[in-house]
Amino acid sequence: MLMNKTQRLVELLLTMNTRHKFTLKELADRFGVSRRTVLRDINELSALGVPLYAELGVHGGYRVLNERTLPPITFSEQEAVALFFVSQSLKFYRALPMKSGWQSALAKFYHVLPEDVKERVDQLQRRLMFWVPVQRWDAPHLSPLLEGALEQKILRISYESENGSTERDIQLVGLYSMNGKWYCPAYDFLRSEYRLFRADRIMSVSDSSDQMRKKNHDKLLITDWFDKERQQEENEEKYDLRVRLTRRGVLLCRNDDWLGSGLTVLEDGTGYISRRISPSFMNWAAAFFIGCKSDAVVEEPKELRKMIMNQLRETISIYEEGSD
């Protein structure tokens, strides 16, 4: 059964996106129409913005340029508003791997919405906010990092750490965002282990000249990374953590999910934390509880108490040296 023109144009666009290169004869045979009809359809799609390139000669034909155009998609009003709802969560990110594409897509989408749906979207943007802390440092290499993760290439990066700048080859597990920062778990060929990198500390990105080593390190997925971290934490030796809290201390610790999972609040509003802590969390915990001052008093483990006292003594000595 022959398709009507609209159906044929949609099918033709899908075929173009799949085949990349084709001839008039191939399309005419595919849709059961004349070459002249296919040529008219191609010209119509080209006029609508489909990026086509004609190649002359015996082996010529047509091919779609790198930036393909998707066929029309019908959205309900609820689905349209939902897309703008999701986009609000990205609004305050300083860096996004596809920022220009995201903004362009929303602008096109908004332009064709009915006026009453536009008003609903406008109300949504005025009344709803996903606040993400604005980061001072940019992450200008998110796009090549994401591309490297998708294609599982080995990347040569220049990385700025506490010990200075180093050049190293990595293979990304993926990217994830937390509290406005972007993180890149990756296999580090310099250290021969999986490590976590901050995207804003990556100063340059290029393809490594050695792409042959990736075979052994392309199986771990981004979801597997979190499972791996959780399993590693579960296998570590644990200490009993107990912290006495004032009312203010309860409020401070409640803001942290990890501490909040071990929080008990008493009738007078004070409370305490009782849970297990692994050695890898100790440095973070020491800095956090020092920031709480007298509103959070660590009673155990003694190793954490000693770490807090050493950090306080070091800070005091620095200020004493600078005093008259």
Looking at residue 117, what is its pLDDT? Answer: 87
Instruction: Select from 135, 155, 158, 160 the least CA-distant residue to 145.
Output: 155
CA dihedral 13, 19, 20, 25 (to 10 degrees): -80
Handedness of CA 98, 104, 109, 115 (dihedral sign): positive
Picking from 234, 316, 225, 244, the residue whose alpha carbon sits closest to that of residue 281 is 234
Helix pair 24-31, 5-19: axis angle to 10 deg: 130
Q: How many other C-beta atoms lie within 10 A of the C-beta of residue 306?
A: 11
Among candidates 147, 145, 148, which has minimal Cα distance to 159? 145
For 44, phi then psi, to 5°, come to: -70, -45
Mean pLDDT by 10 residues, the chain (324 residues): 70 72 82 86 76 62 63 75 84 80 80 86 87 78 92 93 90 89 92 92 92 73 83 77 96 89 94 92 93 95 95 90 63
Pairwise CA distance, residues 146 & 199, whole Å: 11
pLDDT given for residue 70 in this prediction: 59
Strands (E) located in 162-228: 164-172, 176-178, 181-188, 193-198, 202-207
pTM beyond 0.75: the answer is no
Tokens 């084709």 locate to 22
DSSP 256-279: SHHHHTTEEE-TTS-EEEEEEE-G
Q: What is the pLDDT of residue 246?
A: 97
Q: Quote the Cα angle for 140-142-145, to 5°.
A: 130
pLDDT for the residue numbered 214:
64
Who's near 42: CB < 8 A, 6+ residues apart?
12, 24, 27, 52, 62
